[in-house]
Structure 1
């Protein structure tokens, strides 16, 4: 099975979304997380509204593979 190819900007958006989610999860309750929550909401909306999902073959069911590729990008960026 061949891996799905996502646009680089979509993979980067998803990587930023995952990183923001992880950062938010590490914060203690009541730590003034409004900015992180707003960033997470904005990034989630950008991922969901990306033009890729309107192309033939693009479906929200591919989000798991997108997340895998975004995590891989995060690991290579951190290395």
Structure 2
């Protein structure tokens, strides 16, 4: 299966979501409410991105691939 070609704004939103999640997981972090709100905003932005309307429904593997590409994890994509 070929990896989808994700739009750059979608990959960047996933990267931002990952960074926000990591910041929220840090111990003794101030501003948790702001981080949580940002996390919800990014989650909605990714979930409702117009790109998903161009794909067949029921493809959770595409969302997994988005997370892999946002992390820069190419080994996992090649092994599949």
Match of 1:21 in 2: 21
- Find the counterpart in structure 2 of residue 67 from structure 1: 67
User: Aligned partners of 1:8 and 1:58: how far apart in 2?
Assistant: 21
Count how many residue pairs are aligned between Structure 1 and Structure 2. Answer: 72
Q: What does the per-residue CA deviation read over 1:34-65, in whole Å, with 9 as the maximum and x for residues that have no partner?
A: 00000000000000010011113365511110
Q: Which runs of 5+ in 2 are unaligned?
A: 74-80
58 and 6 in structure 1: CA distance in 2 versus 1, 3 angstrom threshold = farther
- RMSD (Å) for aligned C-alpha atoms: 2.1
2:54: which partner in 1? 55
Alpha-carbon contact 1:11-1:66 (below 8 Å) kept? yes
- Equivalent residue number for residue 76 of structure 1: none
Q: Structure 1 residues 55 and 16 mapped into 2: Cα distance closer, same or farther (>3 Å)?
A: same
Match of 2:32 in 1: 33
**Tell me, what secondary structure is at the counterpart of 1:20?**
helix
Q: Report the TM-score when normalising by structure 1.
A: 0.77
Residue 77 of structure 1 corresponds to none
